[in-house]
Structure 1
Amino acid sequence: MANITAALVKELRNATSAPMGDCKKALVESDGDITLATEWLQKRSSAKVAKKAGRTAAEGLVATYVHHDGRTAVIAEVNSETDFVAKNAEFSGFVRDLCMHIAALSPTYVSQDEVPADIVAKQREIAEHQVREMGKPEHLVPRIAEGKLKAWFSDNCLLDQPYVKDDKGRSVAVVLTELAAKIGEKMVIRRFVRYELGEGIAKKEDNFVDEVAKMAAN
């Protein structure tokens, strides 16, 4: 059996942000292997959240963020089961940071489930066309195209995006799951709206060549 030192527990704690007790137990269960211990903690977090899946999360917090230049603003709603958790500093901090994340990465949907089937089909078609244009063998096209589609989801779906406040590169979904397991309640990112100054307004664009021609004619 591996010697589970305080330094090893601290290393896992720094890598996962899990409670010290859970880190020690994970290392014991994994015979001191950091990689296996990390996987053990992730499975434990997912299991905790899965047990709460049937519960209703109708409380929570609506937070706002306006970028310092005044050109981008976000409103986001994240639900919890109780008002008590909604007042939790770590929960409210996550919701505020999530607004900044949305402002920076500009997702279109909360999750893959929200993406209309026709858009998914179109993106898959585009991906397959791109793979064929690369000259890849036909039998590899579906697999490579699925990888491209996954990348598209990562760009456009909030839960699939790498969380901007996480230096370990974890997705928003993973960070949310771990926070829910830590606090002990079901949490759901319900919806968001992102505003950008001038978005959707048709702007007149002057033709520089025509402008020069007009000036020369005068």
Structure 2
Amino acid sequence: MPIEISAQCVKELRTMTGAGMMDCKKALQETNGDVDKAIEHLRQKGLASANKKSGRRTAEGLIESYIHAGSKIGVMVELNCETDFVARRIEFQELAKNVAMQIAACPQVEYVDITSIPSNIIEKEQAIESAKDDICNKPEKVQKQIIKGRLEKRLNELSLMNQAFIRDTDITIEDLINEKIALMGENIKIRRFVRFLLGEGIEKSEQNFSDEVASMLKS
């Protein structure tokens, strides 16, 4: 049975290595909490170098599309890398397809990551949480803690990078991207995406069947 690893230990290892949260947790569990061995473990897997590449320019890549069964949901996503060589790799193309499918499967997701969420949206979500009836009678300090936790949860729901990967729920999309950065040796970024939902924004007329029958009988 894996040993229990604190969130603080995971956070510290991630800061030191730049590896994904779940990768850090697994590394600590497999090395019984030994940080030095965990760092070595991540380096052997090529997961400790993603942070070194995160600032490098990504001007190549591809635009991937996905149409869900029934043709009622469609997605387009731009996935960037550093070179055209990597953009042509099957692993990169598979990553783009997986990201597009992830977006289709997550209707609440609206932004690439939390840093992309506009401040006015964050303020709006905070106001919504602050106005909920179930916290009105609680002490102010408790209210702030509850609002903070709920706001964090809501922002995670809006962020693509914070979603659990649909093909492996033990990792997030951020972890998946970091794994591919380590594998391909280049910085990789999800730049933008758009989701199409059939009929979205169109007011649909509701036909009252009984009224229609009554009208036909009168004519």
In structure 1, what is the Cα distance between the partners aligned to 2:77 and 2:70?
19
Structure 1 gap segments, 5+ residues each = 1-15
Q: Given the alignment of the two structures, is residue 182 of structure 1 paired with residue 175 of structure 2, yes or no?
A: no
User: Aligned-pair RMSD on alpha carbons?
Assistant: 3.4
Q: How does 1:53-202 map to 2 (within 5 A)?
A: 53-106=54-107, 107-130=109-132, 132-133=134-135, 135-168=137-170, 170-202=171-203
The aligned counterpart of 1:32 is 31
Q: Secondary structure at the match of 1:108?
A: coil
Any unmatched runs of 5+ in structure 2? 1-21
Q: Please state whether the residue corresponding to 1:167 is helix, strand or coil.
A: strand
Q: How many residues align?
A: 193
Return closer, same or farther for 1:207/1:112 CA change in 2, 3 Å cut-off. farther
Secondary structure (helix, strand or coil) at the match of 2:168 reads coil
- TM-score, scaled to structure 1: 0.74
- TM-score, normalized by length of structure 2? 0.74
Partner of 2:17: none
**Which residue of structure 2 aligns with residue 3 of structure 1?**
none
C-alpha contact 2:135 2:143 (8 A) present in aligned 1: no
Residues 124 and 35 of structure 1: CA distance in aligned 2, closer, same or farther (over 3 Å):
farther
- Structure 1 residue 137: Cα displacement: 2.4
- What is the Cα deviation at residue 49 of structure 1? 2.2
Letter aligned with residue 178 of structure 1? E
Contact 1:85–1:91 (8 Å) recurs in 2: yes
Q: Secondary structure at 1:136's aligned position in 2?
A: coil
Q: From the superposition, tell whether residues 113 and 38 of structure 1 become closer, same or farther in structure 2 (CA, over 3 Å).
A: farther
Q: What amino acid is the match of 1:188?
A: K
Amino acid at match of 1:125: A
Identity %: 33
Asked whether the 8 Å contact 1:131–1:141 carries over to 2, the reply is no
Compared CA separation, residues 70 and 118, structure 1 to 2 (3 A): same
